[in-house]
Structure 1
Amino acid sequence: MKKILDQKRWSYPLLKLSLKMKISMLFMFLVLFTMQAKSSYAQRTKITLDLDNVTVERLIDEIESKTDFHFVYQIKEVDLDRRVSVKANKELVTSILERIFGNTRTTHNVVDKQIFLKGRRAVGSTDDSTVPIEETTPQMMVVGTVTDNTGTPLPGANVVEKGTTNGVTADFDGNFSIEVEKEDAVLEVSYIGYAKKEVAVNGQTTVNITLEESAAGLDEVVVVGYGVQKKSDITGAVSNISEEKLQSRPTANFSDALQGRSSGVQIRQSGGDLEGKFQIAIRGVGSVTGSNDPLIVVDGVPLISASFSTINPKDISSIDILKDASATAIYGSRAANGVVIITTKKGTVGKPQLTYSTDFSVEHISERYDVMSTEQQRLLFVEAFKNSNRSTAVYDDPSNPIWQVDNDWQELGTRTGIRQIHNFNYSGGTENTQYSASASYQNRKGILLNTDLQTYSLRTNLSSQVNDWLKISTNITGSYQPQNYSQGDSWGATGYRGFVYHHSYTPAYDENGELANIETSSAPYFGANSNPLVPLLLPTRELNTTRLLGNFQTNIKLMEGLFFNTNFGGDLVRVEGYTYSPIYEIGRMINNQGSVTVSNNSDTNWVADATLDYTKQLNKHNFKLLLGVSAQQFLLRRTSAFGTGTIDNALNQLSNQTSFNSTGSNVKGGLASTFARLNYGFDDKYLLTATVRRDGSSRFGPDKRYGVFPSASVAWRVSQEDFLKNSTVLNDLKFRVSYGLTGNQNIGNFEFITRAASTPYVFGNTVVVGNSASNIGNPSLQWEANKQLDIGVDFAFFKSRISGTIDYYDKKSEDLLIQNPIALTAGVPNPPIVNIGSVRNSGIEFAIFTRNLTGKF
C-alpha cells in the first residue's frame, strides 16, 4: 500500500515506545508479568529477494507484500522508474534500503512499521521543480552483529552513538541497525558481564562487533564509604551485591534482597508483622545491652531509623557490606557492627526508557501445629482431675453442649496472605545529564485476620556535569505506609500463639455470626480471653509512616587529580499511631470502658560531609588520599496520649474520653567527626590502606566525648607477579591482612547524667504529680571498643567463572556498655550503665561464586 502525500506534509513522527508483556501462570495464580521495551520491528524483520533489473516501484511493492512495512513518500521526490537489482537471503530490510537509497538523492527513515522516503536537496538549491523540504543533517544507516569471542550472539546488547541519546538494542540474534549522524561516528557497545567497547564507524555501513568478557568484575567499582575503589584494589573484607544479583530473584523488601547474599551476614526476622522488621548481624553479636545493628547508609545518608520497609528493593543498584576494621573504620564510632551501604539506581545515557514490572504472590503458613481435639482434651481433663482427687462432673458427660464445639483456631484466625507489587521506572539522559524516576505500590493482606499494609513510594534522581569542573547530583525518595496491625507481636498471646494454646471447645461465633464466648461461670473456666478472635478483630490498631529521604551532592574539580566533594542529606520519619479498644460484652469477656491511644513520633536526621580527594600516579606508584569532616544532628520527638471512659463505641476519638494521661520527650544530639584515608599501590601488586577517624558524640560526658579509631591493611596480588601474570587458569589471587579499632555508641541518650521523671502519686486525698530520679547517671561512660583482626584471600579461576573469598576473623569487643544492677533501696527504676566486660567473636567465612557458561570454558 502506498500513501501519496500533499506538498504540505507532516514532519517525522516521534519513535514510539513499544512494550511487550510476558505472562506466566503458576498454580492458577498470576505470579509475575513484566512489560519491557521491545526491539523495533525493523531490527528483526528479514526477507529474501531475488529481483533483477526491476523498478524501485516494483521493489517497494515486493517489500510491502512480504512484510508489514508501508512506504510513505511524495511521487515527485522519489525516482520510481529507476532500475535496480536486489539479491538478499534473509537480510534485514533496513540493510536492503541502505543499499538501494544510500548514495541517491532519496533518503529513508524507518519509524515503527512505516518507511518514509524524502528527496535530498542540496544546501542552497533553488530548483523549484522539487517540493521544498526541511534541510536535515545527512544520516547513514549502520547495521551489524554483536557477539562474544566465540561467535555467540549477545541479545540485548546496547549500541549507542557516542555523545548522543541515539541508541538501539541488539535483537535475539545479536543483530542491530542504527542511523548515525555522521560517517565518523563512534558506537559504544555494552553488555552485562563484558567489557564496554567503542568502535569507530569510519564510513562503513556494516560493523560487526566482538566483546570480551570482563575479568570477574575486578575492574568493577565498589562503594567503600566516602568514595569508591576498584574491586581489585580493596584490601579489606567487603562484599558486593550487584544489581544483576539483586534482580535475579523477586524480593519484596530489603531483608529479602540481603538474605543469603554474603557470608558472615545473618538476617533474623524480629517480628511477624507485615512491616518486616528484622535484625542484621555481621560476624556475630558484639554487644550485650547495646544495639548490634550495623550502620545503614543510603546514598551517603546514615539512617537512624530501624525501619527499612519503606526502601523499595527495585530502586537499589548495589549493596556493599563492609565487615572488617579496615573497611569500617572510616565510619568510626558507628561501625563496630559493620556497615551496609545502599546505592540507588541512577539514570543512564540513552533515549528515555519506561519499564513496568509487577509481582504477585500468595503466602500461607507452611506447617500448622498439631493440637488436641475437643474429645482428646476432655479425656485428658478427666484423667488429670482423677489423679488430683477432684470431681470430674463437668467433664464426664460427652453430650454436654460444651464438648460439641471443636474449633480449629489456626484456621479461624488466619487466611491466605496476598502480596501485590507494582513498579514503574523512567530513565534516560545524555552524556552530561542523566535522570531517573520511579514509583511503586505494594499491597499486602496478612495471614492474620485484620492485618494489612500498603506502601506508596516515589523516587527521583538527577545527575548533571554542569561544566568541566562541577558535577551535581540529587536523590529524593518519599514514601507513605499505612497499616493495620495485630497487638504486640504477631506471634504473641494475642497473635498466632493464642490460636495454638486456646481450647478448641470455646465457641467462636454464635448463630447470628457474631463473636461468641462461654456464657456462665458454671462452664469450665479457661481464662477471661477465652475467644482469641476477640482481641484480634475488635480493637482498631492503625500505624501510618511517612518518610522523606534525600541528599544533594557536589563534585568540584580543583585541579588535575584533586576534587572537593560535599554531601548534604536528611532522613525524616514520622509515625502516627491510633489504637481504639471498644466496649464489648461477649459471654464472660467484658470490657465496660473503651480507651483510645494516640501517638506521634518523629525522627529528624541531618548530615553534612565535606571531603578532599586527591589521586596521583608516579610511574608504578599510585596514591589516593581522602581528608574529610562530617557533622550529624538528630532530633527525636515522642508524644503519646491515652484516654479512657468511652461510653459509646461511636465516640472513638481521644476528645470523647473522660480520663486522660500523656507522655512526651524531645531528645537532640549529634556527632562531629574528622577522618582521613590513604590508599597506596605499587605496580598493582602491593597494596596498603590506612584509615583514622576521630568522633565526638553527644551520648557521652564532656570528658569522654571523643574517640579515635585507626586501622590498617595490606594486600599482595600474587596473580600480578610475573610467574602467574600470564596464567590461563588463575586470573586473580590476592592475600589480605587487616587490623583496626572501631567503636560503639549505641546506647540511650544522656545516660551520663541523672534525669528526672514526673510520676503521679496520692498525697492525702489528692492525686499530685512529683518529680523523681529515673536513673543514675555515669559521667565516666565511654565508647565500646571493637578490635578486629582479619586474614583473607580472594581468588578467581577460568576468566572468573569461578571466584570466591576465604576470611578468618577475630573480633573482640571491650568496655561493653551494660546496666549494672543496684539495690531497690536506691529508689530509681533504671540502674546505671557502666563499661564492663567483653565479648569475643571469631570464625572462618567462605564464599564461592560461579557464572554460567556462555561459550568455551
Structure 2
Amino acid sequence: MNFNSFNQGRHLMRLPKKIMLIMKLTLVFMATIILNVSASSYAQKLTLYGKSVKIDQLFKEVEKQTHYRILYATNILDDAATVNVNFRNAPLDQVLNYVLKNKSLTYTIERNTILIKKAEPSFFDQITAVFSSGRFNGRIVDENKNPLVGATITVKGTKRYAITGSTGSFVLDLEENDVLVISYIGYETKELRISQSILQSGVASLLDISLNVSAAALDQVQVIGYGTTTKRNNTGSVSSITAEDIGKQTIENPLLALQGRISGIQITQDNGLPGAGVRMNIRGAFSGLSGAGFIPLYVIDGVPFTLFNGAQPASDNLNANGFSSANGAVSPFSMIAPEDIERIDILKDADATAIYGSRGSNGVVLITTKKGNKGKTAYNFNLNSGVSNVSNYIPMMDTQEYLTMRKAAFAKAGVTPTAANALDLVSWDQNAYTDWQKYFIGHTAQTTNLTGSVSGGNAQNSFLFSSTYRKQGTVYGGDFGATTFSGRLNAGHKSVDGKFSIDGSVNYAYMKNLLPNTDLSGIYALAPNYPLYNANGTVNWTSTSPLSYDPKRTTAQTSNLFTNVNISYKILHNLLVRANLGYTSTRLKQQQIDPASSQNPANSQVSTLRFADNNNDNYIIEPQAVYNTKIGEGNLEALLGTTFQKTNATGISLTGTGYNNEALLYTLTGASAVTTSSNASSIYKYNAVFGRLNYNWKGTYIIDGTFRRDGSSRFGANNRFGNFGAVGASWIFTQEEFLKNITFLSFGKLRASYGITGNDQIPNFQYLGLYSTSGSAYNYNGATTIIPSNNQQISGDFINIQALTPLQGWQLFRI
C-alpha cells in the first residue's frame, strides 16, 4: 500500500505546471463559495415580533423570511411551547440561539435545511449526570395509602411513561428537574418536580406519592343497575371509564380499555390476533359449584350481552360450539366498536350487583353507547393507520451453537451421528441458518381504522349515525388478517311537555377473518439449518414442513345485530313508568380447510373441510316504575320492575372428507362423505321481579336496599326460583357541622354493605336424569348396565340419585 501511494504521489508531481495551477485556483474558488454561502446563511436578517408565540408558528415565519426548511423531532422540542420574540433585522444565528437557549439543543445548516438536534453533553455534564440520575422507584397511593392500580406516570415533555402494577408501584429512569405528570381516573392530576432529595429517596427506596380524590369526579354520574347515582352518594363499589379514556388507546376490543385502569379486575387475552378471546375476572369471582362459570354479566344499553349458551366449561366465546384457529377463542366484543362507547361502569360488590340476582355473583359490566345531542349538526371523521411488529423473541441458538450442542450430546451418549439419527449433523448444510421465529412471525402487521359520525338535534329530537371500517393485518404476513365494518343509528324524541320520551338504536357489525389453523408463534424449535427442500427438490418432511402451515386456513364470518328501545312516560311529576326492549342476534360461520397437498405424502393424504354455524338470538322486555318523593329532610327513590328474557342458542359442526379437487374444499357438496361432529340447541328462559329503595338524608346519611326474585330454566322444577338482595349504607362524615371547618380533609365517607347474589352459569339440563353405559367397571351378572352420568353427588342408591336431580338449585354467595 505504501509503495502504491508513493507512486501515485510521484505521478501527481509529474503533472504539467499549468494543470497544477488550474487545480489550485479551482480549490480556492470552491472554498470561497462555501464560505460565502455559510456567511450568507447567518447574515440573513429577520424581523420578528410577538408574545407567547408558538415555536412551530415562529419556525414557519423563519422559513418564510429565509426560505430555509427547519426540521426537528417533537420528542426533543415541544412545538406547542411559546416564546416571546422581539427582533428587528437580527441575524439568523441570533434568533436560533435565543429560541434554543437552555434546551440542550444545537443546530446545523445543510444546504437549504436547518436541522435541530440534541447537543452532545460535555465531559463535565456526563460526569454530573451520573450523580443526578437514577432508576426511580415510586408507588402511587390514595389518601389512605391504598395503592392505585393502573395510574399513568409521564415524564413531562418526553415519551417516557409508566403504568402502576398491582401494588401501585412503578420504575422510571429519571434525572434531576424532570417533571412527573401523574393521572388516575377519579383523582386530581398531579405534577411533581424531581428535586435532588426526591430523586435520592426514590433511588434508595420506594417513595409513596399520594393523589387526592377529584371533587368534580365525586359528582360525576355513575351508571348502576336500573339507574344512576354519583360516586359521592353510591353505597356500592363501582368503577367507571369514559369515552375520553377509551379514545386514548388503540384497541379493537372495548374490554381491553379496562386493562390496567380499573382496580380489582383482571383482563386476559388469548393473543394479539384479530377477534382473539378476552376474559374478565372481577375480584377473583369464583363459584364453588363445579362447572359453574365466572363470566360477568355484560349489559349494553340495558340489554344483556353475556352469550353463555350452556356449554361446559362455561364460556361466552362465539366459537364455544365450533372450533379454534390461530386466534383461539372468538370474543363477541370484537364486534363492538370502541368508538361507539360513551362509558363503561363495573359493578363489583354485592350491594351493587344484587339487583341482578342470579346473574350478579361474577360482577356486572354496564356499557353505555353514544347518543345524539341537541345542537348544530356535527360531522366527525378520523383516519389512523399503524404498523406493529413482534418486539421480543425467545433467544435461540444459531447454527454453530446448535451443532456444537448436538455433537456434545451424541458424544456424551456415546452414539455416532448418522443419516438415520442426525440428518442435521451429517446431511444438512452446516452453515445454513434460519431464524424460524422471524420466518413465521417476523412480518409487519398493518392496521387501518376509519371512523365517521354525524349527529345533531334540538330540544325534542336528536340523532347520531356512526360507521367504522377497520382492516387489520397480522405478523404472519401474506393475506392473513381481518376486515370489520359496523354501522350504528341512534335516534331519540321527547315531547314538548317533557312527559314522554323514546330512544332507540340499531347497530350492525360484520367481520371477516382469515387466519392459519395453528398459532405460528409456537413454532420455533426447528433446527436452525433445517432445509425446506431436499437435495432432489422435494419438500423436506423430516419434521412437519414449515411450508405446510400456510395452506391450512380458517375463514370466519361474524355478524352481530343489536337493537334496543327505551320508552318512558311521566304519569305524575314524581312517578315515571318506562320499559326497555332489546333484541340481539349474533352469528359465527367458520370454514377450516386441510388440503391433502399440505400433508406428509408418507401418510394417507385426505383433504378435509370443517364447517360450523353458531347462532345466538336473545330478546328482553323490562317494564319498570320509578317513584320519587321527599320525606322529612331526605329524598326517597323507589324502583319496581320485572324481567322477561329468552335466549335461543343453536350450533352445528360438520366435517367433509374425500375431495377429488382442492378447488372444492370450501363446499360440503364437493365432499365424498359428510359427518356431523356436533349439533347443539338450547333455549334459556329467565323471569324476575326486582325493586330498590334509596333514602338520602341531607346528603349525609344514605341507605340503599335491593331485592330480586329470579327464575331460571337451567334449574329443576323444585328449585327454579331464588331470592336475592342487598342492603348498603354510607355516612359522609365531612358533611357534619363539626367537621366542615377542617381544611386538611375535603371529603370523607364510611360505607358498609351486605348482599346475596347467585350464579346460573351451569350446563343445560343438569336437572334431568341422564345415563351412560357402565362399561367394564359396573355390570350385573356379566351384563352391561346404565348409570347416572350427570349427578355430582353419587350416593350409591340408583333410585335416590334419580330423585335428587330435579332438586338442583341456586348457588348463593354472601358478600
- Write the letter of the residue equivalent to 1:391: T
Correspondence for 1:675 among 677, 690, 693: 690
- Write the letter of the residue equivalent to 2:612: S
Please tell me whether the aligned partners of residues 718 and 735 of structure 1 are also in contact (alpha carbons under 8 angstroms): yes
Match of 1:793 in 2: none
Partner-residue secondary structure (3-state), 1:503: coil
* Partner Cα separation in structure 2 for residue 589 and residue 424 of structure 1: 54
Partner deviation per Cα, 1:784-806 (whole Å, 9 max, x = no partner):
xxxxxxxxxxxxxxxxxxxxxxx
The size of the alignment, in residue pairs, is 562
Correspondence for 1:374 among 390, 393, 399: 399
Is structure 2 residue 325 aligned with structure 1 residue 301? no
* Partner Cα separation in structure 1 for residue 584 and residue 786 of structure 2: 33
Q: 1:467 to 1:658 in 2, by over 3 A?
A: same
- Write the letter of the residue equivalent to 1:227: G
Match of 2:480 in 1: 451
* Partner Cα separation in structure 2 for residue 30 and residue 312 of structure 1: 31
* Partner Cα separation in structure 2 for residue 720 and residue 690 of structure 1: 22
* Partner Cα separation in structure 2 for residue 242 and residue 320 of structure 1: 9
Match of 1:654 in 2: 668
The residue correspondences of 1:194-593 to structure 2 (distance < 5 A) are 215-287=215-287, 289-305=291-307, 306=316, 307-394=332-419, 395=422, 400-414=427-441, 415-449=443-477, 451-468=480-497, 469-487=499-517, 490=519, 495-498=520-523, 500-508=524-532, 517-518=539-540, 527=543, 529=544, 531-535=545-549, 537-584=550-597, 592-593=605-606
Correspondence for 1:730 among 738, 745, 761: 745
Please tell me whether the aligned partners of residues 269 and 279 of structure 2 are also in contact (alpha carbons under 8 angstroms): yes
Q: 1:413 to 1:747 in 2, by over 3 A?
A: same
State the TM-score, normalized to the length of structure 2: 0.64
Partner-residue secondary structure (3-state), 1:309: helix
* Partner Cα separation in structure 2 for residue 404 and residue 28 of structure 1: 44
Please tell me whether the aligned partners of residues 584 and 591 of structure 1 are also in contact (alpha carbons under 8 angstroms): no
Larger deviation, residues 707-716 vs 222-231: 222-231
* Partner Cα separation in structure 2 for residue 647 and residue 681 of structure 1: 75
Q: 1:833 to 1:376 in 2, by over 3 A?
A: farther
- Write the letter of the residue equivalent to 1:711: A
Cα shift at 1:660: 1.5
State the TM-score, normalized to the length of structure 1: 0.61
* Partner Cα separation in structure 1 for residue 435 and residue 511 of structure 2: 33
Partner-residue secondary structure (3-state), 2:746: strand
Partner deviation per Cα, 1:477-535 (whole Å, 9 max, x = no partner):
110000012325x3xxxx2112x2222232236899x9x6426xxxxx5x4x2x23412
* Partner Cα separation in structure 1 for residue 635 and residue 742 of structure 2: 25
- Write the letter of the residue equivalent to 2:670: N
Q: 1:389 to 1:840 in 2, by over 3 A?
A: farther
- Write the letter of the residue equivalent to 1:407: T
* Partner Cα separation in structure 1 for residue 411 and residue 814 of structure 2: 53
Larger deviation, residues 449-458 vs 397-406: 397-406
Match of 1:169 in 2: none
Please tell me whether the aligned partners of residues 285 and 841 of structure 1 are also in contact (alpha carbons under 8 angstroms): no
* Partner Cα separation in structure 2 for residue 282 and residue 604 of structure 1: 26
Partner-residue secondary structure (3-state), 1:216: helix
Please tell me whether the aligned partners of residues 562 and 585 of structure 2 are also in contact (alpha carbons under 8 angstroms): yes
Please tell me whether the aligned partners of residues 418 and 426 of structure 2 are also in contact (alpha carbons under 8 angstroms): no
Match of 1:632 in 2: 645
Instruction: List alignment gaps of at least 5 residues for structure 1.
Output: 1-26, 32-191, 195-212, 520-524, 759-771, 779-818, 826-831, 843-857
- Write the letter of the residue equivalent to 1:231: K
Q: 1:271 to 1:249 in 2, by over 3 A?
A: closer
Partner-residue secondary structure (3-state), 1:233: coil
Match of 1:49 in 2: none
- Write the letter of the residue equivalent to 2:637: K
* Partner Cα separation in structure 1 for residue 418 and residue 270 of structure 2: 45
Please tell me whether the aligned partners of residues 693 and 710 of structure 1 are also in contact (alpha carbons under 8 angstroms): yes
Please tell me whether the aligned partners of residues 713 and 739 of structure 1 are also in contact (alpha carbons under 8 angstroms): yes
Cα shift at 1:750: 1.2
- Write the letter of the residue equivalent to 2:491: L
* Partner Cα separation in structure 2 for residue 684 and residue 464 of structure 1: 33
* Partner Cα separation in structure 2 for residue 752 and residue 680 of structure 1: 41
Q: 1:632 to 1:509 in 2, by over 3 A?
A: farther
Larger deviation, residues 389-398 vs 645-654: 389-398
Cα shift at 1:743: 0.7
Q: 1:840 to 1:635 in 2, by over 3 A?
A: closer
Match of 2:699 in 1: 684
- Write the letter of the residue equivalent to 1:356: F
Match of 1:130 in 2: none
* Partner Cα separation in structure 2 for residue 252 and residue 442 of structure 1: 9
Partner deviation per Cα, 1:335-393 (whole Å, 9 max, x = no partner):
11100100001111110000011232222112101112333333333333333343323
Partner deviation per Cα, 1:228-267 (whole Å, 9 max, x = no partner):
1233221111112122322344433213311122111111
Please tell me whether the aligned partners of residues 292 and 761 of structure 2 are also in contact (alpha carbons under 8 angstroms): yes
Larger deviation, residues 557-566 vs 228-237: 228-237
Please tell me whether the aligned partners of residues 466 and 472 of structure 1 are also in contact (alpha carbons under 8 angstroms): no
Please tell me whether the aligned partners of residues 757 and 812 of structure 2 are also in contact (alpha carbons under 8 angstroms): no
- Write the letter of the residue equivalent to 2:727: A
Match of 2:726 in 1: 711
Q: 1:710 to 1:841 in 2, by over 3 A?
A: closer
- Write the letter of the residue equivalent to 1:629: T
Cα shift at 1:397: 9.0
- Write the letter of the residue equivalent to 1:371: M
Identity %: 30
Cα shift at 1:757: 9.6
Partner deviation per Cα, 1:680-710 (whole Å, 9 max, x = no partner):
1111100001011111111111111111111
* Partner Cα separation in structure 2 for residue 708 and residue 391 of structure 1: 74
Partner deviation per Cα, 1:571-609 (whole Å, 9 max, x = no partner):
110111111211216776656210112211100011110
- Write the letter of the residue equivalent to 2:660: I
- Write the letter of the residue equivalent to 2:227: G
The residue correspondences of 1:750-769 to structure 2 (distance < 5 A) are 750-755=765-770
- Write the letter of the residue equivalent to 2:461: T
Cα shift at 1:402: 4.6
Cα shift at 1:639: 1.1
Partner-residue secondary structure (3-state), 1:378: helix
Partner-residue secondary structure (3-state), 1:723: helix
Instruction: List alignment gaps of at least 5 residues for structure 2.
Output: 1-70, 76-185, 189-212, 308-315, 317-331, 774-784, 799-804
Please tell me whether the aligned partners of residues 506 and 517 of structure 1 are also in contact (alpha carbons under 8 angstroms): no
* Partner Cα separation in structure 2 for residue 274 and residue 316 of structure 1: 19
- Write the letter of the residue equivalent to 2:529: Y
Which is richer in strand? 1
Larger deviation, residues 308-317 vs 285-294: 285-294
Q: 1:595 to 1:304 in 2, by over 3 A?
A: same
Partner-residue secondary structure (3-state), 1:401: coil
* Partner Cα separation in structure 2 for residue 224 and residue 388 of structure 1: 68
Partner-residue secondary structure (3-state), 1:584: helix
RMSD (Å), alpha carbons? 3.6
Partner deviation per Cα, 1:527-550 (whole Å, 9 max, x = no partner):
4x2x23412x01231000000011
Please tell me whether the aligned partners of residues 566 and 580 of structure 2 are also in contact (alpha carbons under 8 angstroms): yes
Q: 1:775 to 1:384 in 2, by over 3 A?
A: farther
